[in-house]
Structure 1
């Protein structure tokens, strides 16, 4: 299924909303975004995996995914569904305090009828504004977005949120923003005031990966992007993605992708040439 909202975001939009109907549209692999995603189910049924947690949702429910959270969606065979998805960057959130509260209240929402109606109505207004090129359209969409977020935060139930989950989300966010820097279990435990043992256990529980595995995977994902999108040397890319040496970069890249960086670039260039032929 074509993700038009995702395409608009990739082309520079800061907020994008889309309504889609589908059937048997299942994601086999988890993915993440650099921005928030709100997934509102209008009809049918869907299941989501968010950081290895299984979440079934029904019409009127929604999930708020924070940046860099691994997730995927799927459903039973031949069950049609209709959903609205909203993508938005953090710089569109009105204030830092709202951003922090939003980050701490991500996850699954099962709303009462009134709250669900209010949220759905604002999403419909964002959809209607999606193709509007009139003056102040961007400002209007930002206003609608923040109205939506305030509506969500007012009906959130912080007592149901788990502090450890919030802290792990913050650590994941930190890794993605600082993958170029020197990162380790010791450094992260000191920065976030959590014991190494507790951090290791809770991080593994949330992500199914150790801290080192997650850091390496994040760095390799960024390296793959640089290999495809730039002409930089592999030595430059290894340095820019946080690896201490080219040898270490080659070893971790091969472990993650079953290819060396040079093999990966060669295959990508061949595919690119064939597509242009």
Structure 2
């Protein structure tokens, strides 16, 4: 599935929207991005793995992913679905309290029919403005988005709980809590009373990733946050997130992000200067 909205964001836009329908279109592995995502399911049923939780999503429900949350979407075999999404940068959110509320955690929102229809209408309006060649369409998208976010923030306490924890979600929770430590396959399998073979197989089935790949993604997300929030050296940050040497950190960082840590940090600095 081609994620056109992500290309729009990569082109420097602050808001991007897209509607897609499909069947058996499951994400290959968890990913994350530096902006928010609202994913509204128009029909069908989907599952979302977000960090160490799994959520189910039904027609008329939506989920919000804050920046840097690892997530991927999948569905049951041969079950068609249709969704509309909006990506938006934190800088587009006008009200600080709304930004704080939405940044706390991912969550599924199960509104009543009237409220859900209101959300759906605003999402459609945002998508329409994106394709409209008339003037001020970017400003209109921003205004519609902030109206939508206020509606959501007012009912943030209505977020649905994730599915009951399974053995795999317990393992994911452990990895997120101990990602900076030296975690070996043997130690992890022993901790959860599993054979290394079974653990690797089930972990791959749920995340489509190896354990070391998943740990490295968590570490790189943490490093990116530290780049944004602190002035600490890259060497210090690489050690804090769990890498034994900065050379290995640089190699893994570039393989995941597509650029070196120093270039990524400079990119954040430039964005702050320009107010993007």
TM-score normalised per structure 2 = 0.64
**Residue 159 of structure 1, CA deviation:** 9.1
1:126–1:141 CA contact under 8 A, matched in 2: yes
Q: Residue 140 in 1 paired to residue 140 in 2?
A: yes
Q: Counterparts of 1:25 and 1:73 in 2: how far apart (Å)?
A: 9
Q: Secondary structure at the match of 2:147?
A: helix
Distance 1:158 1:44, change over 3 A: closer
Q: Which runs of 5+ in 1 are unaligned?
A: 163-201, 224-237, 266-277
**Residue 161 of structure 1, CA deviation:** 8.3
Distance 1:57 1:221, change over 3 A: closer
Q: Counterparts of 1:104 and 1:239 in 2: how far apart (Å)?
A: 27
Number of residue pairs matched by the alignment: 205
Q: After the TM superposition, which residues 201-240 of structure 1 pair with which residues of structure 2 at under 5 Å, given as runs?
A: 205=173, 208-212=176-180, 217=217, 220=220, 239=234
1:61–1:111 CA contact under 8 A, matched in 2: yes
1:115–1:155 CA contact under 8 A, matched in 2: no
Q: Secondary structure at the match of 1:212?
A: coil
**Residue 220 of structure 1, CA deviation:** 5.0
1:210-251 deviation digits (Å, cap 9, x = unpaired): 14169964665799xxxxxxxxxxxxxx9489447x981234
Partner of 1:116: 116
1:109-143 deviation digits (Å, cap 9, x = unpaired): 11110110000000010111111232211111000
Partner of 2:129: 129
Distance 1:159 1:66, change over 3 A: closer
**Residue 52 of structure 1, CA deviation:** 2.0
1:48–1:74 CA contact under 8 A, matched in 2: yes
2:65–2:105 CA contact under 8 A, matched in 1: no
**Residue 209 of structure 1, CA deviation:** 4.8
1:105–1:158 CA contact under 8 A, matched in 2: no
Q: Counterparts of 2:45 and 2:30 in 1: how far apart (Å)?
A: 19
Partner of 2:96: 96
Match of residue 249, structure 1, among 246, 251, 265: 246
Q: Which runs of 4+ in 1 moved over 6 A?
A: 158-162
**Residue 27 of structure 1, CA deviation:** 1.3
TM-score normalised per structure 1 = 0.64
Partner of 2:165: none
**Residue 61 of structure 1, CA deviation:** 0.5
**Residue 154 of structure 1, CA deviation:** 1.7
Q: Secondary structure at the match of 1:157?
A: helix
Q: Counterparts of 1:210 and 1:247 in 2: how far apart (Å)?
A: 15
Distance 1:221 1:70, change over 3 A: closer
Distance 1:210 1:253, change over 3 A: farther
Partner of 2:264: none
**Residue 104 of structure 1, CA deviation:** 2.8
1:24–1:77 CA contact under 8 A, matched in 2: yes
Partner of 2:5: 5
Distance 1:95 1:122, change over 3 A: same
**Residue 6 of structure 1, CA deviation:** 0.6
Distance 1:247 1:80, change over 3 A: closer
